[in-house]
Structure 1
Amino acid sequence: MSTAATVILVVLLVPILAIFAWMVVTASMIKVPAGALGLVLKNGRATDHSLTPGRHWVPLLRKTMVVEYPSVEMAYRAGEDTSSAASQLDRTGPSLSCALGDRALADVAYTVRYAIVPERLRTVHERFGPEGVHGLVRDASGRAISRALSDPAVTVETLFGSARSDTETRLAEAVTAALEEHGLRVTGFVLGPVDLGRTGEVIQATVRATFELALEEAEAATRIARAQNDGRLEQEITTAREDAWRYRETDLWRDLVQRSDGVQVGRRRPGYGPGRMGLTVREDPAAPQGAAAAADQPPGTEPQ
């Protein structure tokens, strides 16, 4: 082969080899987007080679592909509507129905935040796949919480007050152990509202009764003082002065406004003199006869 032929061959082969090498390098460069993990599969089988976000060199010696998994935290919220999920990283489901250690039935709402352990990505892929992670969290967390709440030490009292924090810690530990077994790391657990059904209604009625009794006791002193003052006021009614009525004037008008038997209070009545309250009282046709007539009398006068 002559020198000229060799030069021509080299000139033709070098660009061809350069283009081929560029194509191989481009195909071997894999970009993992932010917020994702890449698992390298060769010939359809998972490997222990996981990729962090960024560009990576994966030689095309065999048929290779990369499956992406989220690297950021994900959440499962039990006790919310399925339409309330903010993104694909958040999943929702119904509240967990279970029995406590004292056999009381409860519907438990909770939130689990978790992430995939990069070193266990192969196990997660081989057992559950990209679409099965959320189902795993739902089932494993529900089973762990049901077992923890069925402990005899967990009763209705442990869901309130300072004992609730201890119960939440116990549930968090149970869920963490259950998910770590499958290659997931729990980053947060929150115990939400617990619906106790009829038992909760009894508890709320007991709490309301306690405060209503306290209210009655607080108002008792006021009612006693008012009755004593009314008794002393009866001794002053025979006098011609209006000072005896000034004490009850405000209370009388307040009681009149709050009445629900059809009496209505309007704007100032022109016939009233200065210094009088001067409110117009109208009687509802459905109200008893004479109810508004007695209320329309000026303070300090007897009803006609």
Structure 2
Amino acid sequence: MSTAGTVILLVLLVPILGILGWMVVAASVIKVPAGALGLVLKNGKATDHALAPGRHWVPLLRKTMVVEYPSVELAYRAGEDASSAVSELDRTGPSLSCALGDRALVDVAYTVRYAIIHDQLRTVHERFGPHGIHGLVRDESGRAISRALSDPAVTVDSLFGSARTETEARLKEAVTAALAEHGIRVAGFVLGPVDLGRTGEVIQATVRAGFELALEEAEAATRLARAQNDGELEQQITSLREGAWRYRETDLWRDLVQRSDGVQIARRPGAAPGRLGLTVRDDPAVVDPAVGDPTVTEPQ
């Protein structure tokens, strides 16, 4: 081949080889987005090579691909509707129905925040894949919580007061141990509202009964003091003192305000200074047309 032919060949081959080399280099540079992990697969098989977010050089000597997994914390919230999920990183589900150690049936709501352990990314991929992580957390956390709550030491009292904090810590330990076996790290656990069903209604009724008893005792003391005042007032009424009549007037107005049989109380316009100027009117719906609209005004 002549010198001119060699030069022409080099002029044509060098750009072609440069373009091919650039294409190979560009295809070998893998970009893992922020908030994700990249697992390198060769010939369809997972490797122990996990890529952090950023650009990485992965030579295309064999059939190589990268599968992305989330590197940030995910959340599963039991006891909420699917519409309450704020992003793809959150999953929701129904509350967990289980029985306590004293056989009381409860519906438990809880939240688990978790992330993939980087060193066990290959195990997670081979067992569950990118779309099976949420199902794993749902099933394993529910199983661990049911087993922990069924302990005979856990009763209804364990869900209230300081015992609730201990119960929440016990459930977190159980969920953490259950998910760690599958390559999942628990970052946080929150025990939500617990529906006790009929048992909860009994507890609420018992609590209300205690407050109602305290109210009755307080009102009993008030009624006793009023009876004593009324007894002393009888002697004052016989003396025709205006202060005694004013005391009874105030008491009568209070009884009218507390009535619930359709009596309406309104302020009468143009009332004289120093007077209440109130008007008591029966409900028009129960007034007899033949009698008219009886109106009771404040005594002058």
Which TM-score tier does this pair reach, normalised by the shorter chain? over 0.9
CA distance in 1, matches of 2:230, 2:73: 70
Q: 1:221 corresponds to which residue?
A: 221
- Establish whether residue 197 from structure 1 lines up as the match of residue 197 from structure 2: yes
AA of the residue aligned to 2:209: A
User: Unaligned regions of 5+ residues in structure 1, if any?
Assistant: 300-304
AA of the residue aligned to 2:204: Q
Q: 2:78 corresponds to which residue?
A: 78
CA distance in 2, matches of 1:288, 1:243: 35
- Establish whether residue 277 from structure 1 lines up as the match of residue 276 from structure 2: yes
CA contact 1:107–1:195 (8 Å) conserved in 2:
yes
SS in 1 for 2:4: helix
CA contact 2:277–2:298 (8 Å) conserved in 1:
no
CA distance in 1, matches of 2:92, 2:273: 68
CA distance in 2, matches of 1:18, 1:97: 65
- Establish whether residue 61 from structure 1 lines up as the match of residue 58 from structure 2: no
Q: 1:298 corresponds to which residue?
A: 299
Q: Could you tell me the TM-score, scaled by structure 2's length?
A: 0.92
Q: 2:267 corresponds to which residue?
A: 267
Q: 1:230 corresponds to which residue?
A: 230
User: How many angstroms does 1:236 deviate by?
Assistant: 1.6
SS in 2 for 1:235: helix
AA of the residue aligned to 1:296: T
Q: 2:112 corresponds to which residue?
A: 112
SS in 2 for 1:92: strand
Q: 1:16 corresponds to which residue?
A: 16
User: How many angstroms does 1:214 deviate by?
Assistant: 1.6
Q: 1:302 corresponds to which residue?
A: none
Name the Cα RMSD after superposition.
2.0
CA contact 1:269–1:280 (8 Å) conserved in 2:
no
CA contact 2:97–2:105 (8 Å) conserved in 1:
yes
CA contact 1:72–1:115 (8 Å) conserved in 2:
yes
Deviations 1:84-132 (A, max 9, x none): 1111110000000001111111111100000011111111111111111
AA of the residue aligned to 2:297: D
Deviations 1:5-61 (A, max 9, x none): 333332222212111110000000110100011111112111111111100111001
AA of the residue aligned to 1:174: A
CA distance in 2, matches of 1:33, 1:241: 91
SS in 2 for 1:236: helix
AA of the residue aligned to 1:126: E
CA distance in 2, matches of 1:125, 1:251: 79
Distance 1:229 1:287, change over 3 A: farther
Identity rate of aligned residues, in percent?
81
User: How many angstroms does 1:219 deviate by?
Assistant: 2.9
AA of the residue aligned to 2:278: L
- Establish whether residue 175 from structure 1 lines up as the match of residue 175 from structure 2: yes
User: How many angstroms does 1:297 deviate by?
Assistant: 5.2
AA of the residue aligned to 1:281: V
CA contact 1:261–1:287 (8 Å) conserved in 2:
no
User: Unaligned regions of 5+ residues in structure 2, if any?
Assistant: none
AA of the residue aligned to 1:283: D
CA contact 2:281–2:295 (8 Å) conserved in 1:
no
CA contact 2:263–2:282 (8 Å) conserved in 1:
yes
Q: 1:32 corresponds to which residue?
A: 32
CA distance in 1, matches of 2:222, 2:114: 58
